[in-house]
Amino acid sequence: MTEPAARSSIWGWGRWWPMLVIVVPCLLLNMGGDPVRQALEYDRLAILHGQVWRVFTGNFVHLGWGHVGEDMAGYVLLCLLLEDVLPGWRCPLLIVLGSFGVGIGLLLGDPGLHWYMGVSGALNTLWIVGAMLLMRHRDWIGWVLAVFLSLKLIFEQLQGPLPWSVATTGGPIAVDSHLYGAFTGVILGLVMVVHKWRIAHMHQL
C-alpha cells in the first residue's frame, strides 16, 4: 500500500471494522452485567455437564469495565500495529481461534481452574502470530514483540500476574490462559509462515 492510499483510508470502514467486530460485542455483553457473565463465563463444572459453549464464550465476557477496557485497548493496539501483516478479517479470526485454543487448553490442562473470563488469552494468540509474520518480513518490531511476550509469560509463570493487570482487571487473573493463547498462536503462526513460504516458493519455480 502506498503512503497516499494509507492516508486516505485511515478513517475508512475497511480499516476499523476488524476492530469493531470484536470490541462492540464485548462492550454489549459487559452491559448485560452479572446475568450475562454467569450465562457465558468459562465454568468448568458447567462445561463438563454439557454447556460446551462456555469454552468459547467465556473469552468474551469480562469482570467489569476496567477489565473489558484493558482488553479492548490491547486488541485495538495490536490490530493497528499488525495491520500490514494481518489486514482485514485476519485479526478477528485469530481472536476466535485463540479463544477456542484458550478454552480447550484450560479444560484439558488446568483442571483446578473453575472459572475464567476475558479475551486476554486470545490476545496472546494474535500477538505471537503477528510477531512471527513480522519476523518473517525481517521487521525488528516482530523480534521486540516476541521477546517482550516471552518475558511476560515467563514472569507470569514464575511470579504470577503483572501487578498493574490485577489492579485494572479488578479480580484474579488466570495466567495459564495467556500461556495457552500464546501456544495456540505459535501453532497458527507456523502454519501461516509455512503456507506463505510455499506460495512464494511456487512463484519462483
Q: What is the pLDDT of residue 167?
A: 60
What type of residue is 90? R
Ordered domains of the chain (ranges, CATH): 3-204 (1.20.1540.10)
Per-residue pLDDT tens over the stretch 183-204: 999 999 999 988 777 776 676 6
User: What's the grid cell of residue 141?
Assistant: 518490531
List of the chain residues with pLDDT < 50:
1-8
Q: What is the pLDDT of residue 180?
A: 97
Query: Residue 137's pLDDT is what?
Result: 86
- Yes or no: say if 43 and 54 are a contact pair by the CB < 8 Å rule: yes
pLDDT of residue 1: 36
Confidence at residue 63, expressed as pLDDT on a 0 to 100 scale: 93
Sign for the CA dihedral angle at 191, 173, 50, 48 comes to positive
Cell of 164: 498493574
